[in-house]
């Protein structure tokens, strides 16, 4: 993998990005400063980084692929209220992973899991709304 300034720009923008950007989102950040950068290059490089294991691809059902800088073990969860993607880890999640490794059938070598629920912020919001319907 050859060093290019595009690769550096993309990796830098990715690391400064809070959350889990899509290729388009990174392109939107980079495009103003680097008008000649093309979306295809962003896609190509993010895919290359992911293939090399430098970053994580998070496939979203019914949505664009997002990328994740956390390489350590964790799960992903989508908040059904706000649509945001979150990184999740806990002892209970380790227990899920362990249970999956116990599956004997099918030579299971790998898996993808996506959790759906409510993030902390949306949980608080709906509580306030419940207590005071004019809250927004």
Partner DNA sequence: TTACATGCAAAGTATTTGCTTCGCT
Partner DNA sequence: AGCGAAGCAAATACTTTGCATGTAA
CA nearest neighbour of 55 among 4, 88, 92, 7 = 7
What is the sign of the dihedral through the CA atoms of 17, 30, 38 and 64? positive
Phi, psi at 2, each rounded to 5°: -80, 140
Residue 102 contact among a copy of itself, DNA, none, beta carbon within 5 to 8 Å by kind:
a copy of itself
Residue 92 contact among DNA, a copy of itself, none, beta carbon within 5 to 8 Å by kind:
a copy of itself
Under the criterion CB under 8 A, does residue 99 sit at the interface with a copy of itself? yes
Under the criterion CB under 8 A, does residue 72 sit at the interface with a copy of itself? no
The correct pick among 104, 131, 132, 133 for binding a copy of itself (CB under 8 A) is 104
Q: Looking at beta carbons only, is 19 or 64 nearer to DNA?
A: 64
């Amino acid at each position: 993998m050859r060093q290019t300034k595009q690769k550096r720009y993309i990796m830098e923008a990715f690391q400064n990005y809070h959350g889990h950007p899509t290729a388009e989102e990174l392109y939107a950040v980079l495009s103003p400063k680097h008008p000649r950068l093309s979306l295809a290059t962003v896609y190509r490089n993010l895919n290359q980084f992911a293939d090399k294991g430098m970053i994580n691809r998070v496939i979203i059902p019914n949505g664009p692929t997002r990328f994740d800088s956390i390489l350590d073990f964790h799960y992903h969860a989508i908040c059904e209220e706000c649509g945001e993607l979150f990184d999740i880890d806990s002892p209970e999640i380790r227990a899920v992973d362990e249970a999956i490794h116990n599956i004997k059938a099918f030579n299971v070598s790998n898996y993808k899991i996506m959790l759906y629920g409510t993030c902390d912020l949306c949980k608080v919001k709906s509580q306030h709304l419940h207590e005071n319907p004019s809250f927004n």
